[in-house]
């Protein structure tokens, strides 16, 4: 059984082809700069990577090129080998609490929910519609980033704003990275051999979110109405005083959209350090004694620790903390500093184990009151699993 996991962006189409008999990756790649000069692709398979420039006027061109290459490179013998296609969709709003088969109604709903993810949902639809056009008889599934968070209680997902805003405009917390957090919960279930545990999942990369999970269900999460809320990120501010927005509009002569764009693209680690949004660059700059870099790094650590501490209290104790995504899986000093600041909760890590990168490993010491793991996330596999289940 072969399943294609797809993540379509406004000018890109990422894919992973799985053999679901043993959940191995057959091939993966990305078609880039779709509709832009200089479009190209790369495909990985059998330990090799091929790439070339190719004219891609739209997503249908990219889908056709992808399928043609899969056959031409003998990754598959024919398109009949593709049994299902799973699509990542950022926002399912409060409409979808689980993955669903693609239908005309689902496509209509994703279109109507685009204002909750204006940079993402329209792009996902481009990919879905392109595959429907080229492979109309292959079943497809939508896997929503927001679905996992639909188990939150209204005390946690409602904002302290006029209730009418929720009733009329669906203003509430939706969260993001839900597919990743659900994957991490599944991994912890397998590691512990049970599903009755309290988990804090830290998906920290260029974007980041912290999620409190109890008995495999989301209790609360740091991202909010949009992915701008929560912890400080690579270029996103995370939580700030909303009064800053009209203040800066007046001072800088900016409109609301321009300020929000600055909070999304020019803030966070990049904004404070005035150097880089990449945590690897920031740590190197800190080693040189750069003051702004040190402040940005310390602020980043503090915001992550704040949410972990908040969720420790919410869950009334924690069994497991997991670090995942780019920073969580690979940045040794950031993990160490976060854990050191959690020592009052009984967290202790083994410094030698913490030196590992990009693999599943328990980094807490034997006398730690909370187990701490590093687990590489695999959202593409989660999409493939849901697709297999539904088809």
**pLDDT band at 126, cuts 50/70/90?**
confident
**pLDDT band at 134, cuts 50/70/90?**
confident
Q: For this structure, is 145 an active site residue? A: yes
Q: What is the CATH number of domain 2-144?
A: 3.30.420.40
User: How far is CA 161 from its chain centroid?
Assistant: 27
pLDDT at 8: 87
Query: Distances in Å between the alpha carbon of 111 and those of 67, 124, 150, 231?
Result: 26, 10, 20, 28
**pLDDT band at 35, cuts 50/70/90?**
confident
The stretch 52-71 carries a mean pLDDT of 90
pLDDT at 342: 97
CA–CA dist 272, 365 (Å, integer): 34
User: How far is CA 83 from its chain centroid?
Assistant: 25
**pLDDT band at 290, cuts 50/70/90?**
very high
Does position 87 have pLDDT exceeding 80, yes or no? yes
DSSP state of 349: B
CA–CA dist 66, 27 (Å, integer): 11
pLDDT at 372: 98
Domain spans of the chain, in order of start: 2-144, 193-374
Q: Tell me which of 255 and 35 has the higher pLDDT.
A: 255
Backbone torsions φ then ψ of 204, nearest 5 degrees: -125, 110
Three-state secondary-structure class, residue 17: strand
Q: Mark 148-167 as b/e (b = at least 16 C-beta within 10 Å).
A: bbbbbeeebbeeeeeeeebe
DSSP state of 32: E
pLDDT at 100: 96
Catalytic residue (one of 145, 220, 371, 378) = 145
Does position 117 have pLDDT exceeding 90, yes or no? no
Those residues with Cβ within 8 angstroms of residue 299's Cβ, 6 or more apart along the chain or in another chain = 232, 272
Same fold, 2-144 and 193-374: yes
Backbone torsions φ then ψ of 169, nearest 5 degrees: -125, 5
Domain 193-374 is found in CATH 3.30.460.10: no
**pLDDT band at 123, cuts 50/70/90?**
confident
pTM of the entire predicted model = 0.91
pLDDT tens per residue across span 321-371: 999 999 999 999 999 999 999 999 999 999 999 999 989 999 999 999 999
Per-range mean pLDDT, top range of 121-125, 172-176, 197-201: 197-201
Does position 230 have pLDDT exceeding 80, yes or no? yes
The stretch 134-159 carries a mean pLDDT of 95
pLDDT at 44: 94
pLDDT at 10: 72
């Amino acid at each position: 059984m072969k399943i294609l996991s797809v993540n379509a962006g406004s000018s890109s189409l990422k894919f992973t082809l799985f053999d679901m008999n043993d959940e191995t990756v057959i091939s993966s790649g990305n078609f880039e700069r779709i509709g832009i000069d200089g479009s190209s692709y790369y495909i990985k398979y059998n330990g090799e990577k091929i790439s070339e420039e190719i004219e891609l006027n739209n997503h249908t061109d990219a889908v056709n090129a992808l399928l043609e290459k899969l056959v031409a490179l003998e990754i598959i013998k024919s398109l009949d080998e593709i049994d299902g296609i799973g699509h990542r969709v950022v926002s399912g709003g409060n409409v979808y609490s689980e993955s669903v088969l693609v239908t005309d109604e689902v496509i209509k709903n994703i279109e109507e929910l685009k204002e909750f993810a204006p940079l993402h949902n329209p792009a996902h639809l481009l990919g879905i519609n392109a595959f429907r056009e080229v492979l109309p008889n292959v079943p497809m599934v939508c896997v929503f980033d927001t679905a996992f968070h639909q188990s939150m209680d209204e005390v946690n997902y409602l904002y302290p704003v006029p209730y009418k805003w929720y009733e009329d405009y669906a203003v509430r917390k939706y969260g993001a990275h839900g597919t990743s957090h659900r994957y991490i919960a599944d991994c912890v279930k397998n590691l512990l051999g049970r599903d009755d545990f309290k988990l804090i999942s830290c998906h920290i990369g260029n974007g980041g979110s912290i999620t409190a999970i109890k008995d495999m269900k989301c209790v609360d999460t740091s991202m909010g109405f949009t992915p701008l809320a929560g912890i400080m990120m690579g270029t996103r501010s995370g939580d700030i005083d909303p009064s800053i927005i009209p203040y800066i509009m007046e001072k800088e002569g900016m409109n609301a959209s321009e300020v929000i764009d600055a909070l999304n693209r020019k803030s966070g680690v990049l904004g404070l350090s005035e150097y880089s949004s990449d945590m690897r660059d920031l740590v190197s700059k800190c080693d040189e004694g750069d003051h702004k870099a040190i402040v940005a790094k310390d602020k980043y650590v503090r915001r992550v620790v704040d949410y972990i501490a908040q969720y420790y209290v919410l869950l009334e104790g924690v069994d497991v903390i997991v670090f995942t995504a780019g920073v969580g899986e690979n940045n040794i000093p950031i993990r160490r500093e976060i854990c050191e600041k959690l020592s009052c909760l009984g967290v202790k890590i083994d410094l030698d184990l913490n030196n590992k990168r990009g693999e599943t490993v328990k980094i807490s010491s034997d006398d730690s009151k909370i187990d701490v793991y590093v687990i590489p996330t695999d959202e593409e596999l989660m999409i493939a699993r849901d697709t297999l289940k539904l088809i």
